[in-house]
Amino acid sequence: MSIESDIDNISLEAKRDAAPLSVLPTAAKNAALEAMADALLAAEPAILEANRRDILTAEDKGIPKSLADRLALDKAKIAKMADSVRAIAKLPDPVGRIIDEKKRPNGLWIRKVGVPIGVILIIYESRPNVTADCMALCLKSGNSVILKGGSEALNSNEAIFSAMKAAALAHAVPPGAFGLVRSSDRSAVQRLLGMTGRIDLVIPRGGEGLIRDVAEHSKIPVIKHYKGVCHVFVDAKADLRKAEAIVVNAKTQNPAVCNAMETLLVHEAVADRFLPVIADALRRKKVEIRGDEATRALVGDAKAATEADWSDEYLDLILAVRVVKDLRAAMEHIRRYGSQHSDAIVTEDKASAEAFTSGVDSACVFVNCSTRFNDGGEFGMGAEMGISTDKLHARGPMGLEELTTYKYIVVGDGQVRS
């Protein structure tokens, strides 16, 4: 079968089965999810074998170790995938939930009800667990999903996909609910991104290059974040012990992820007290500091930050540091260089906290806690489908509810409009 006809079939089936899927009862979806989790565990040998082949190919191609690490599966990771699928089974069904309801003076009863979006295309890189998470989240939210993973993980994705899909189909889930694009051809993605009549939403997950490419070429609505240039601002009225813990956590607890801090802004009133202390703490964690002039005057071994450092997403143990005149200057810096992802203020002053949270236009704004909390799990959403910095539909972590839209159901007793 040609790539084109393969993709045409997948999208056609996805669209066709979106209708029965949208009315699948909660109990049927949950039973299928439990069976999918069981199937993951039962297929463990096949998945590990497929993963071994992917890793060998990757090593032959000489891909970076960080990529190989994200690609690698083991028994514990497969067990975790299965746990995640079961956790999604236990979450409330977002389909059919009443978002709002009211009775109008003319007697009309208007309900705003959660419904699936339809067909969702996920384009992602490396991590094979995304395959399992997306299949489970889309099924629970009543959406068909089309998966386009990276070519480096094709065998692993296929093994996970086949096991889970077979289990779901044995539990009344229609086959179009899950599609996997096996081609690694770029034209395959281009073709999918033009299918406005069959696909309702595209979610790209991966590096900024991948995401920009998808956003640039898609005719279908895209929800995304390009990158996370996240800030922590240590205010004049900050509790500096809290500030130290938050800065160290936001930078080092997992520096490779989008909600890690990349730039530290320090109020000049506390710079001389705070910077030497935090520099010590970060030094112990092997963080390289790139500071402005004021920072370098206080932190001897800091490198000089260039203009490019303020908008860089390092995803590494590197931190840009700047001393700012006041809260307003901090907010101005964030507006200019930030990515509207996750930004925090550390302060004991209520008015400053209030000015920061209302003035900083980011998906998540934090007061006295780490930017690392911008996460579906930490927000109590169960698993997450990604994080959005867009303004429309979903912002911040995307869980099950964010994978639904709504319809209005209006019930009357013969009312007409006059």
List residues near a copy of itself by CB under 8 A: 19, 22-23, 96, 102, 104, 108, 110, 115, 117-118, 200-201, 221, 223, 239, 241-242, 245-246, 248-250, 253, 335, 353, 357-359, 361-370, 372-375, 378-380, 390-393, 395-396, 405-418
Closest approach, Cβ 139 to a copy of itself, in A, equals: 18
Report residue 113 as tokens: 């009800």
**What is the C-alpha to C-alpha distance for residues 107 and 394, in angstroms, rounded to an integer?**
33
Q: From the CB of 340, what's the least distance to a copy of itself, in Å?
A: 9
Minimum CB–partner distance for residue 344 and a copy of itself (Å): 9
CA distance between the termini of the chain: 58
Euclidean distance between CA atoms 101 and 90, whole angstroms: 26
Dist. CA 395–CA 398, nearest whole Å: 7
142/150 with CB nearer a copy of itself:
142
261: CB partners within 8 A, 6+ apart: 230, 231, 232, 247, 250, 251, 319, 344, 371
Smaller CB separation from a copy of itself, 325 or 393: 393
Residue with smaller CB distance to a copy of itself, 45 or 92: 92
Report which of 309, 192, 316, 319 is spatially closest to residue 264, judged by C-alpha positions.
319
- Measured from the CB atom, the residue of 320 and 360 that comes closer to a copy of itself is 360
Q: How far is the CB of 223 from a copy of itself (least distance, A)?
A: 8
Cβ of residue 362: shortest distance to a copy of itself, in angstroms?
7
Residue 50 C-beta: closest distance to a copy of itself, Å: 32
Tell me whether residue 280 or residue 354 sits nearer to a copy of itself (CB atom): 354
Comparison of 36 and 199: residue with beta carbon closer to a copy of itself: 199
Angle in degrees, CA 266, 269, 271, rounded to 5: 45
Judge contact between 103 and 109, C-beta under 8 A: yes
Name the minimum Å distance from CB 115 to a copy of itself.
7
Cβ(225)–Cβ(341) below 8 Å: yes
Q: CA nearest 403: which of 204, 168, 114, 175?
A: 114
Nearer to a copy of itself, 175 or 359 (CB): 359
Question: Strand 119-124 relative to strand 201-205: parallel, antiparallel, unpaired?
Answer: parallel
